[in-house]
Amino acid sequence: MHTYDKYAAGQDKTGVMAMGALLADMNHDIRTSMNGVRGMLDLLLDTGLTPSQQEYARTAQHSVDNLLESLERIVDMSLIESNSFRFNQAPFDLLQEVRAALAAKPAGAHSKGIALSVVYPPSVRLLGDAARLREVFSALADVALQYASGETMSLAVNAIRLPGEMCRVVLEANVPQSSEDSGSLASMLGGGNTGNEVHSRDMLGMAVCTQLVHRMKGSIEIDRSRPPATLVRVTVDLPLAMHDASGPRAAVDSAAPRDAHGAAHLPAPADCTVLVADDNPVNQQVAARMLEKLGYKAEVASDGMQAVEMHNWKRFDLILMDCEMPVLDGLEATQRIRAAEGSSRRTPIVALTASTGQGEQERCLAAGMDDFLAKPIRPQLLGDLLARWLQRPAAQEDPACTDELEKVKDMFGADFAELAALYQQDGAPRLAAMREAAAAGDRTRLAKVSHALGGSCASIGATGLSALCKALELSVKAGSVADVDAKMDAIEAEYRRVCGKLQSLLEP
């Protein structure tokens, strides 16, 4: 290569890296502003709005989320192209991150006339890059919805314990398609030209998703054995994150999958006070109001030095610490608090940051922080985090998923009675077949029938029961048969509960 060519190539690389740095700074600034917008919309939706006003607020929320996702994808692609991309390695809760990625998708699907059911995983503490895994889930869901042509679609995420303190995370998207379009999604995921109009946002999202999964040493599989539907499966193996002795719980909270809304929150402990350290008045107000809505008391510090002083003269149950503040930043403030604590009681400190850049989580943990919450803050994720660190085990909601059943009833109208009858006629024989397969040790048949029953449960809106079926299917495929009888008991009990709920919905 000539000297000029080498110089030009170097300039190109420098330019790409400079652009990546600029985009990362923009990402931080936009997220800081959007925290106020998104947070106030969350609080607004918790007031007495009319149905039309609620729709307007949710549409605004959806637009904010789309903007932030698109910006994140652009930043990641610029890092990949400049060969400066690397993963953060920090503990995270799988259920919390999946909820952040997928919780808003059913509303977007509804606007397209699709009833989307989401099956959530158990609450498992893993070690890895939560933001990038969340990005993979969101991008795949967006593309699947773009290509879906049926009335129902399901997304399921599960976690399978592997030997050697590892966990396999599996995301499955069951995408209904017409016979004419049955190959378009597979072609697009394979990098081909589908001939269909695809939003550039989805193309970028899928390009980043493919790169991220490849760099995680995971896989993306496409199953078209049941046309015209297409099953897309993403698999990534991650290590379990074990807390130290001062941590609030073990890596795996529960082996039972959660329902479509995740875990409910118990009332906050009496006299539980959280310190919010943030220099932005809007962000202070958003965090304080959210804490009050969740039942906690909140006090505010406007910079890191004030946070240290308040901690020194008053005991707080937890501190939400912004990373970038005047006088003293959040990292230095945390180090001073840890030095002052010595060997005494350690106050949980959670990083609040609008930066999702390279190594951000590692820097926070290295400074002595215990967890990480990216802006904009979501009330559900904040509630999950507080429940975890303040040692309040999350309550199990009724997995019958009443809201999903009612949504499907509203969508089908007068035809719902026929659908419910067909579901019950089909369900009983499949349960019997599952029992027979389990007794005979026929894992292949058990997994197949469990998959079929789970699909029909998801279609009718019984997403809690669908989650139980999916958990049984995946554990059997992984060779774990020790608790098959217990899982079958849970499935049968939940099936009876769903049938009872269907009956009540059909009563005049």
Residue 11 — pLDDT band, cuts 50, 70, 90? very low
Helix, coil or strand: residue 176: coil
Question: What is the tens place of the pLDDT at every residue in 325-340?
Answer: 889 999 999 999 988 8
Neighbouring C-beta atoms of residue 343, cutoff 10 Å: 5
133 in a structural domain: yes
Res 260 pLDDT > 50: no
Name the one residue in this structure whose structure tokens are 């059997």: 476
The torsion angles phi and psi of 278, rounded to 5 degrees, stand at: -160, 135
Instruction: List the single range of 221-225, 280-284, 353-357 with lowest mean pLDDT.
Output: 353-357
Res 142 pLDDT > 60: yes
Question: What is the tens place of the pLDDT at every residue in 180-204?
Answer: 555 566 666 655 444 444 455 667 7
394 in a structural domain: no
Per the structure, the complete domain to which residue 2 belongs is given by 1-85
Res 75 pLDDT > 70: yes
Among 356, 389, 422, the domain-final residue is 389
Question: Mean pLDDT over all residues of the chain?
Answer: 76
Among 59, 85, 111, the domain-final residue is 85
Bridge partners for 240 per DSSP: 126
Per residue, the 3-state secondary structure of 207-230, as one string, reads HHHHHHHHHCCCEEEEECCCCCCE
Are residues 422 and 285 part of one domain?
Answer: no
Residue 187: predicted pLDDT? 61
Among 389, 414, 441, the domain-final residue is 389
In this structure, the dihedral spanned by the alpha carbons of residues 137, 140, 145 and 148, taken in order and rounded to 10 degrees, is -130
Residue 242: predicted pLDDT? 61
> 312: buried, middle or exposed (CB in 10 Å: 19+, 13-18, 0-12)?
exposed
Neighbouring C-beta atoms of residue 319, cutoff 10 Å: 26
Average pLDDT over residues 427-436: 88
Are residues 90 and 80 part of one domain?
Answer: no
Are residues 205 and 102 part of one domain?
Answer: yes
62 in a structural domain: yes
DSSP 38-91: HHHHHHHHTS---HHHHHHHHHHHHHHHHHHHHHHHHHHHHHHHTT------EE
163 in a structural domain: yes
Closest C-alpha among 273, 264, 281, 282 to residue 41: 282
CATH number of the domain at 498, please.
1.20.120
Residue 302: predicted pLDDT? 92
CATH number of the domain at 353, please.
3.40.50.2300
Are residues 385 and 481 part of one domain?
Answer: no
Residue 483 — pLDDT band, cuts 50, 70, 90? low
Q: Between 22 and 432, name the one with better pLDDT.
A: 432
The torsion angles phi and psi of 353, rounded to 5 degrees, stand at: -145, 145
DSSP 290-308: HHHHTT-EEEEESSHHHHH
Are residues 212 and 360 part of one domain?
Answer: no
Name the one residue in this structure whose structure tokens are 């890191």: 304
Average pLDDT over residues 354-383: 78
Average pLDDT over residues 56-63: 82
Question: What is the tens place of the pLDDT at every residue in 386-408?
Answer: 887 885 443 333 433 444 677 67
In the numeric block, which tokens belong to residue 188? 């697009």
Cα gap 364→303, rounded to integer Å: 17
Res 224 pLDDT > 80: no
In the numeric block, which tokens belong to residue 183? 């190959």
Are residues 233 and 98 part of one domain?
Answer: yes
146 in a structural domain: yes
CATH number of the domain at 74, please.
1.10.287
CATH number of the domain at 96, please.
3.30.565.10
Q: Between 209 and 300, name the one with better pLDDT.
A: 300
Instruction: List the single range of 49-63, 233-247, 262-276 with lowest mean pLDDT.
Output: 262-276
Are residues 374 and 321 part of one domain?
Answer: yes
Number of domains in the chain: 4
Residue 19 — pLDDT band, cuts 50, 70, 90? low
Are residues 216 and 95 part of one domain?
Answer: yes
Instruction: List the single range of 111-115, 214-218, 297-301 with lowest mean pLDDT.
Output: 111-115
Average pLDDT over residues 160-175: 87
Residue 381: predicted pLDDT? 79
265 in a structural domain: no
Residue 2 — pLDDT band, cuts 50, 70, 90? very low
Residue 24: predicted pLDDT? 63
Residue 465: predicted pLDDT? 82
Are residues 450 and 354 part of one domain?
Answer: no
Q: Nearest 5 degrees, angle CA 255-CA 479-CA 260?
A: 35
Are residues 223 and 140 part of one domain?
Answer: yes
In this structure, the dihedral spanned by the alpha carbons of residues 495, 500, 504 and 505, taken in order and rounded to 10 degrees, is 10
Are residues 245 and 158 part of one domain?
Answer: yes
266 in a structural domain: no
Bridge partners for 318 per DSSP: 274
Residue 9: predicted pLDDT? 44
Contacts of 381 (CB under 8 A, 6+ apart): 96, 99, 100, 373
300 in a structural domain: yes
Residue 37: predicted pLDDT? 84
The torsion angles phi and psi of 216, rounded to 5 degrees, stand at: -80, 0
Note the pTM of the prediction, 2 decimals: 0.54
Closest C-alpha among 117, 179, 154 to residue 233: 154
Q: What is the DSSP letter of 328?
A: S
Are residues 236 and 142 part of one domain?
Answer: yes
Q: Nearest 5 degrees, angle CA 366-CA 372-CA 377?
A: 155
